[in-house]
Structure 1
Amino acid sequence: MSQEQLPQVVLRARKAFQTGRSKTPAYRIQQLKNLQRFITEKQKDITHALKKDLHKSENGTQLYEILGLEGEINLAISKLSQWMAPRPVTKNLLTISDVVYIQPEPLGVVLIIGAWNYPITVTLQPLVGAIAAGNAVVVKPSEVSAHTAKVLELLPLYLDSEMYPVVTGGVPETQELLKQRFDHIFYTGSSVVGKVVMEAAARHLTPVTLELGGKSPCFIDGDCDLRVACRRITWGKFVNCGQTCISPDYILCEPSIQDKVVEEIRKCIKEFYTDDPKTFIDYGRIINQRHFKRVMALIEGSTVAIGGENDESQCYIAPTVLRDVSADSKVMQEEIFGPVLPIIPVKGVNEAIQFIREREKPLALYVFSYSNKVIKQMISETSSGALVANDCLVHYSISDLPFGGVGNSGMGRYHGKYTFDQLSHLRSCLLKKLGMEFVNGMRYPPHTAEKLRWARLLLCRQVNLGRVRHLAQVAAFALLAAFVVQRFWR
C-alpha cells in the first residue's frame, strides 16, 4: 500500500463507521470472535514470525503473547452487554424525577500504532477494546518486527476489511497516517516517539493514549528473602531478552547485600537459562543490530559482575548484571530495554525513594520487603504507573487493573473494561419532561435569598434511588414540590 493511498484508507474506515453497523452488540461480538479465529488459525504463522523476529519459543509465545490476548477477547465478549449498557448515576433532589445516566458511545476511527517487543499482544489488546467499543480502527503494526507485521496483514481476511484495515510500512507510512484526522490515537513505544505522536494529534485535537516506558526501579530491602526476590527479579528482567517496558530497569539495595544479590541472580540465570543461554530455546535475542549496539554501548564504563558475553551476528547479549553503578553512568541515562541489570547501592529505603523521586515517573515500581511499613512508605512517597510488592510484571495479567503510565511513562490506561472506556465517549444524558414547571421557580430571576436556600437544599443533597425506596422518595418529593409551589407560585 502506497503512502498516497493512506488518506483513502482512513476515509473508507470513516465511511464504514458512519453506516452505523458497529453500533450493535451482535456486530461487535462477531468481530471479536473473528479476531479469536485469526489467532487460532494463524497460530503457527505467529509462532514462526516471532521466532524470526525475537527468537521467541513456541511455548514462550503462548505464555507471553497469546494467553492474555485470548483472555481479553473472552472477557470482552462476556461483558460487552454490561459495558455497553447505560450507567445510572446519583441524582440530586432537583433532578429526582428525571432520567439521568451515562451512555458509552463509540469515538469513531481509532489509530493503533503497535510496538515491536510484544508485537501481537500490544497491537491486538487495544484492538479488542476498540472493537468492543464500536470503533473503526486503522491498525499499524511495528515495522521493526517485520515478520510479525506480515502476519498481521492477514487480519482484514477475518475482520470487516473496511472497518479494520491494516497498514504496514515504516516511518514514512506512520508519518502520513499521523497527518490524517482520527478520533483517538493509541500508541505503544518510546517516549521520544510518543511526543511526536502527541504533537501530530494536537493538530486535530485528537485525544491520545500513550503507553510508553522508562526506567522502572526495583528496591530490595535488607529485610527480605533474597533467594525468592532475586528469582522473581531475574525472571522479570530477562524474559524477552529484557525487551519489556515494565521489566526492572535497575536495582536499588544496600551495599551490605549487593554481593548476595549478585550471587542469587547468578544461580537463577543458570537455573532458568542453563550455563549457555545462547543455545537455550527460551532465551531471546535483541530485535536488531541497531538496538544491539545501543545496549552494548550502555555497558561501557560499568563493572560487569555477571555475563557480558555477546555476538553481534546473532544479536545475542548474555544475561548481564552490573555492580556498583553510579547515577551518572551511561546505563542510567536511558531505558535499557535489554538484558542488562545495573545495581546501584543506596543506604536504605529513604535514599532509594529520594533516588526514584529525582527522576522521571516510571511505568512500574517494584519493592521487595517483608515490612509492610516499607511497602506503604514506597507507595505513599513515590509515583509510578503501577507499584508491585514482592514480584514483577504480574500486574499486567490482571484485566481489572488499569495498565498505563504517568508523566513521562505515558498517559491513559487499558486492559479489560478500561480499554473499552478509554476508547469510548462516556456521554452524559439527562432526560426531563416538559411538565412540573413549577419546580423550576427557584432558578428563575429574581434570585432571592429564600430561593437560594431552597436551591442549596435541592442541589447539594445527593439521592441514590433504590428500587425499594423509590416510591417513598417520589412521594416525599411530591410533598416538597407542593410546598415549593405554595412558596413561589402563590
Structure 2
Amino acid sequence: MEVKRVVEEVREAYATGITRSYSWRKSQLTALKHLLIHKEDQIYHALKHDIGKHRVEAYRDEVGLMIKSVDYALWNLKKWMQPKKVDVPLVCFPTSGEVVPEPLGVVLIFSSWNFPIGLSLEPLVGAVAAGNAVVLKPSELAPASSNFLATNIPKYLEKTVRVVEGGPHMGEQLLEHKWDKIFFTGSSRVGRIIMAAAAKHLTPVSLELGGKCPAIIDTLTSERDIRVTINRVAAAKWGLCSGQACIAIDYLLVEENFAPLLIDFLKAKIKKTYLEPETLARIAHKQHFQRLSNFLKDPAVAVSVVHGGSFNAENMSFEPTILLNPPLDSEIMTDEIFGPMLPIITLKKIEDSIEFLKARPKPLAIYAFTTNEKLKSKIIEETSSGGICFNDAVVQFALDGLPFGGTGESGFGKYHGKFSFDEFSNGKAILRRNFLIEVSVRYPPWNERKLQFIRHVYNFNYFGILRMLLGFKR
C-alpha cells in the first residue's frame, strides 16, 4: 500500500465535507459498534493470538469497554456538536459570543500492542465524533489484531477512515506527511521521535506515554479493608494484561512495619488466583520478554525477590513476582516495568511517600489506599500526575466523564468521552455584533478622558462608564 496515495485519498474524501454532518458521524459510530458486536469472536481470537488474553479480560478491557465508549459518544454527539455560548460583558452590548467546534482535518493515530483493539478504537471514536478523517496505524507487535482492523474497518466504515499496517519503516513514511493532528500511544522513546517529526509541520500532537504508576498503601487496621486492597492491587498488576499496561500499578509504597503483612496477603492472593495458565496474559513479544528477564539478572535486584521470579522463554510466561526494596537506582525502579513484577518500597512513615513521588517524574496515575482524609488532601495538593485514584486502581480508565492522559514525561493531551471529542476539535471563537451602537472612545485621537473611559471598561465599572457616556462630548 503506497502511503502517499492513501493520504491523498483520505484528504480528498475529507475535502468533500462529508465528515462534518451529524448524520455521517452518527452512521460511522454506529457502524463501529456493529463491527465490535458482529466480530466479537474474531477479536477474542486475535487478542488470544497476540497476547494470550482470556476472553473475559478481552471483553472487560477492550470489546465491552469500546462498545460503552461508542454508546456514550452516540448519546452525547448532538450536544457536543452544538455551539457553546460564552459570557459577554454588558459593556459590549449588543454583542454575542460562542465557541463552535470544528474538525481538525485529517488525523493520524498510532496505537499500542498491549490493548491493540481498545487503544486503536478509543481515539478513533473521538476523531470520528469530531468529524475528522483518520489514518490508523496499529502496532505491528500485535499482528493478528492489526490484520483484524485492516480487514474489517473497510467493511464497516467509509473511506474517510483507513488502516495502514507495517513496522517502524511504515511509521517513518507516515510521519513524512503533513497531518492536522497526531495521536500516539506508546513509549516515551518513540514519543520523542513523533514530536520531532511533527515539529517540521507544526502538527499538534497528543502523547499517551504511561510511566511508573505508584500505589501508596497506608497501614490499614481493618482486615476487610486489607483484603479489598489486596484484591484491587493484584487485579491492577497481574489481572491487567500481566502488568503490561500504562495504568497498571508499577510499585507499592508502604510503611516498614506493614510490609510483612502485606506481602503475606499478596502471596496468598497469587496462590489462590493468579497461578492458573488461563488467568494471566502472556508477555507480548520476545524483545519485551528479554527486557523483563534482564531486570532479574541484576544480582542486586535478584536478592530482593520475596516471591516468584521464574519465567518460561518457550511460551513467554512470567510468574507473578514480588520484590522487597530493590535498589532505587536499578533499572526495575527507574524504567517503567510493564510486566508482572511488583516492587515494594518501604518507608518510615507513609507521609514520606509524598516526597518520594515529588523527587521522581510525574506518573500517569497515582493510586492511594487509605482512610486518612488528611493524607488524601496532601496527595492531591502536593503531587502532580495525570490523575489520582483513591482506594482502587485502573477503574478511572473506564469513566467517560474523567479525562485520561498524562502530564510531564507521562504524556500530554486528554481523551475519553467529551475529552476525546475536544482533543480532535478546534474550538473556533465566533463574535457577532451589529451596527446599532458605535462608541468613538475606542478610536484615536487619544486623550486622558478616553483613557479613563477604557479603565472603567476593563474594571467593569458600569456606573463610571454610564456617567462618562452621558457627559461625554464628541
TM-score where L is the length of structure 1 = 0.92
User: Structure 1 CA distance, aligned partners of 2:331 and 2:472?
Assistant: 75
User: Structure 1 CA distance, aligned partners of 2:263 and 2:370?
Assistant: 17
User: Structure 1 CA distance, aligned partners of 2:402 and 2:369?
Assistant: 20
Alignment-derived partner of residue 358 in structure 1: 359
User: Structure 1 CA distance, aligned partners of 2:76 and 2:459?
Assistant: 34
Structure 2 residue matching 1:256: 3-state secondary structure: coil
Q: Deviations over 1:258-306 (max 9, x none)?
A: 1111111111112322xx33x2x22110001111110111123322111
Q: Deviations over 1:388-415 (max 9, x none)?
A: 1111101111111000000000001000
1:298 aligns with 2:299: no
Deviation, structure 1 residue 461: 3.0
CA contact (8 A) 1:221 1:348 kept: no
User: Structure 2 CA distance, aligned partners of 1:457 and 1:160?
Assistant: 55
Segment drifting more, 96-105 vs 414-423: 96-105
Q: Deviations over 1:164-216 (max 9, x none)?
A: 01000000000100111000000000111111101111000000010001111
Deviation, structure 1 residue 89: 0.5
Deviation, structure 1 residue 245: 0.4
User: Structure 2 CA distance, aligned partners of 1:270 and 1:452?
Assistant: 77
Deviation, structure 1 residue 307: 1.3
TM-score where L is the length of structure 2 = 0.95
CA contact (8 A) 1:65 1:118 kept: yes
Query: Given residue 383 of structure 1, which amino acid in structure 2 is its aligned partner?
Result: S
Alignment-derived partner of residue 237 in structure 2: 237
CA contact (8 A) 1:236 1:247 kept: yes
1:211 aligns with 2:208: yes
Structure 1 residue matching 2:258: 3-state secondary structure: helix
Deviation, structure 1 residue 426: 0.2
Summarize the Cα distance change of 1:390–1:460 in structure 2 as closer, same or farther, 3 Å threshold.
same
Query: Given residue 114 of structure 1, which amino acid in structure 2 is its aligned partner?
Result: S
User: Structure 2 CA distance, aligned partners of 1:173 and 1:309?
Assistant: 36
CA contact (8 A) 2:321 2:341 kept: yes
Q: Deviations over 1:440-487 (max 9, x none)?
A: 21211233333233323334439xxxxxxxxxxxxx99xx77x76554
Out of 186, 191, 201, which is 1:189 matched to? 186
User: Structure 1 CA distance, aligned partners of 2:69 and 2:253?
Assistant: 34
Deviation, structure 1 residue 425: 0.2
CA contact (8 A) 1:441 1:488 kept: no
Alignment-derived partner of residue 43 in structure 2: 46
Structure 2 residue matching 1:428: 3-state secondary structure: strand
Query: Given residue 157 of structure 2, which amino acid in structure 1 is its aligned partner?
Result: L
User: Structure 1 CA distance, aligned partners of 2:130 and 2:334?
Assistant: 39
User: Structure 2 CA distance, aligned partners of 1:460 and 1:8?
Assistant: 56
1:405 aligns with 2:406: yes
Alignment-derived partner of residue 336 in structure 1: 337
User: Structure 1 CA distance, aligned partners of 2:228 and 2:43?
Assistant: 33
Alignment-derived partner of residue 85 in structure 1: 82
Alignment-derived partner of residue 173 in structure 1: 170
CA contact (8 A) 1:109 1:182 kept: yes
CA contact (8 A) 1:92 1:460 kept: no
User: Structure 2 CA distance, aligned partners of 1:350 and 1:249?
Assistant: 19
- Where do 1:367-406 residues align within 5 Å? 367-406=368-407
User: Structure 2 CA distance, aligned partners of 1:100 and 1:324?
Assistant: 57
Query: Given residue 42 of structure 2, which amino acid in structure 1 is its aligned partner?
Result: D
Q: Deviations over 1:44-65 (max 9, x none)?
A: 1111000011111111111110
User: Structure 1 CA distance, aligned partners of 2:460 and 2:469?
Assistant: 20
User: Structure 1 CA distance, aligned partners of 2:385 and 2:96?
Assistant: 39
1:414 aligns with 2:415: yes
Structure 1 residue matching 2:148: 3-state secondary structure: helix
Segment drifting more, 221-230 vs 298-307: 221-230
User: Structure 2 CA distance, aligned partners of 1:51 and 1:372?
Assistant: 42
CA contact (8 A) 2:441 2:453 kept: yes
- Where do 1:59-138 residues align within 5 Å? 59-138=56-135
CA contact (8 A) 1:223 1:371 kept: no
CA contact (8 A) 1:155 1:166 kept: yes
Identity of matched residues, %? 39
Alignment-derived partner of residue 153 in structure 2: 155
Alignment-derived partner of residue 450 in structure 2: 451
Query: Given residue 8 of structure 1, which amino acid in structure 2 is its aligned partner?
Result: R
Q: Deviations over 1:344-369 (max 9, x none)?
A: 11112342222211111000111111
Deviation, structure 1 residue 324: 2.4
Query: Given residue 333 of structure 2, which amino acid in structure 1 is its aligned partner?
Result: M
Query: Given residue 298 of structure 1, which amino acid in structure 2 is its aligned partner?
Result: F
Question: How many positions carry a matched residue from both structures?
Answer: 465
User: Structure 2 CA distance, aligned partners of 1:92 and 1:442?
Assistant: 17
Structure 2 residue matching 1:349: 3-state secondary structure: coil
User: Structure 2 CA distance, aligned partners of 1:450 and 1:349?
Assistant: 62
Segment drifting more, 253-262 vs 93-102: 93-102
Summarize the Cα distance change of 1:296–1:87 in structure 2 as closer, same or farther, 3 Å threshold.
same
Q: Deviations over 1:122-155 (max 9, x none)?
A: 1101000100100000011011011000000020
Query: Given residue 361 of structure 2, which amino acid in structure 1 is its aligned partner?
Result: E
User: Structure 2 CA distance, aligned partners of 1:211 and 1:155?
Assistant: 23
1:11 aligns with 2:12: no
Deviation, structure 1 residue 489: 5.0
User: Structure 2 CA distance, aligned partners of 1:485 and 1:321?
Assistant: 75
User: Structure 1 CA distance, aligned partners of 2:414 and 2:455?
Assistant: 37
Query: Given residue 460 of structure 2, which amino acid in structure 1 is its aligned partner?
Result: R
User: Structure 1 CA distance, aligned partners of 2:230 and 2:284?
Assistant: 26
User: Structure 2 CA distance, aligned partners of 1:394 and 1:71?
Assistant: 14
CA contact (8 A) 1:50 1:148 kept: yes
Alignment-derived partner of residue 21 in structure 2: 24
Alignment-derived partner of residue 471 in structure 1: none
Structure 2 residue matching 1:326: 3-state secondary structure: coil
Query: Given residue 242 of structure 1, which amino acid in structure 2 is its aligned partner?
Result: G
User: Structure 1 CA distance, aligned partners of 2:471 and 2:4?
Assistant: 63
Segment drifting more, 452-461 vs 151-160: 452-461
Structure 2 residue matching 1:168: 3-state secondary structure: coil
User: Structure 2 CA distance, aligned partners of 1:349 and 1:323?
Assistant: 16
Query: Given residue 446 of structure 1, which amino acid in structure 2 is its aligned partner?
Result: P
Query: Given residue 156 of structure 1, which amino acid in structure 2 is its aligned partner?
Result: P
User: Structure 2 CA distance, aligned partners of 1:34 and 1:127?
Assistant: 13
Alignment-derived partner of residue 227 in structure 1: 227
Query: Given residue 428 of structure 1, which amino acid in structure 2 is its aligned partner?
Result: A
User: Structure 1 CA distance, aligned partners of 2:127 and 2:65?
Assistant: 17
CA contact (8 A) 2:94 2:437 kept: no
